[in-house]
Amino acid sequence: MSTSPKTIPYLDGWRGLAIVLVLQSHFGLGGGGRLGVALFFALSGYLMGELLFVKNVPLGRFFKRRISRIVPTYWLYVAAAFALAGAAWYQKPYEVRTDELVSTLLFARTYYPADVSIWSGAWQIGHFWSLNVEEHSYIYLALLALVAGAAGVKRTWLLALSTLACLGLNLYYTFYPPGGASPWFARSECAALGLIASATLRAWRHEMPALHTGAAWIAPATLALGAVCFTWTGLPILAITLGPLLLAVSINYVGTAPALLRNALSVGVLRWFGICSFSVYVWQQLAYVAYQNHLLQRQLAGVIGILVGVVAFYLYEDPVRRWLNGERRTSAAAAAPLQAEGQA
């Protein structure tokens, strides 16, 4: 497990909790997957807000680190899923259309082609709806920071308006759904609510001293209420409105939470899952589909999915990322300014 000063233990644990919930929904007793993805979104928004609106990281460096972290693993998986799409022993053979492949590689699959849902199951890319949301949000937030700086507009107000726009679209689409094969609630303008809200609150806390600190109960209370919104089936609209907003508040104030919560999130196994989370999230899908197609027993599929993800992280994702970034061993003093980037 990494002990680099670039990482904040309880944030690694937050990410670890998110991937554990996703794995539980696929290979355990079911449930928790939506909450797990929402936790990812809240953390991503917090970190993007830190990088773009607090530390003002240059956009070139920002995108270089995002690309080096995401694209190599993503494209390798897409190649594997493409190869398996026609494998009769694995699933019903499917010939991937060129427009599907191109839109998938470009993180546009939730929008195009409009006649085939990303969740069709024809080939195994359905879980990338969430990655599409993340990548679109990174681009949007970076452009917002750039435009606001060039126009002299207060960035926090633009962020707040963006949050309200996401919330409004979720409410509007509930009653007037747009066209397209992929579900509207998986589209970035809706699903990014928690991510944009989290970045917004991080920026507001930076500019308003009154928001810098908060009562110790804020993070655990909003985390618990947010979890209820995502797991209670009685009022599903909460999962696309109030739930993401509560998680955005929770991640922003987890640093002032009671030591019990921060220590629980800092447990070694959660941190380890958090560090490996991206590769595990990407590659577990192949094992999950093998379970769905009765090729593997559920628990065995889970173990294999985790192992493949972990091996992919240590042998591919992490070495490639470090190579692309030209990283070498650094001292604690040199690494400290990149703390948030190590988390992102």
Q: What's the pLDDT tens digit per position in 21-36?
A: 999 999 987 789 999 9
Task: Give the single-character DSSP code of 336.
Answer: G
With beta carbons less than 8 A apart as the criterion, state whether 195 and 44 touch.
yes
309's enclosing H/E stretch is helix 298-312
With beta carbons less than 8 A apart as the criterion, state whether 221 and 72 touch.
no
With beta carbons less than 8 A apart as the criterion, state whether 159 and 144 touch.
yes
Task: Give the single-character DSSP code of 237.
Answer: G
| pLDDT at res. 7 | 74
| pLDDT at res. 328 | 63
Long-range contacts of 230-239 (CB under 8 A, 24+ apart): 230/34, 230/35, 230/38, 231/31, 231/32, 231/35, 237/174, 239/34, 239/38
Our CA dihedral for 294, 79, 313, 197, rounded to 10 degrees, sits at -90
pLDDT bin (cut points 50, 70, 90) of residue 214 is: confident
- Number of helices and strands (H, E) in the chain? 17, 0
C-alpha neighbours within 13 Å on the C-beta side of residue 174: 15
| 0.75 exceeded by pTM | yes
Q: What does the block give as tokens for 163?
A: 């949050």
The one-letter amino acid code at 276 reads C
pLDDT tens, position by position, 65-100: 999 999 999 999 999 999 999 999 999 999 999 999
Packed helices 218-231 and 33-49: angle between N→C axes, nearest 10 degrees: 140
Cβ count near 331 (within 10 Å): 8
Listed residue (137, 98, 103, 136) closest to 118, CA to CA: 103
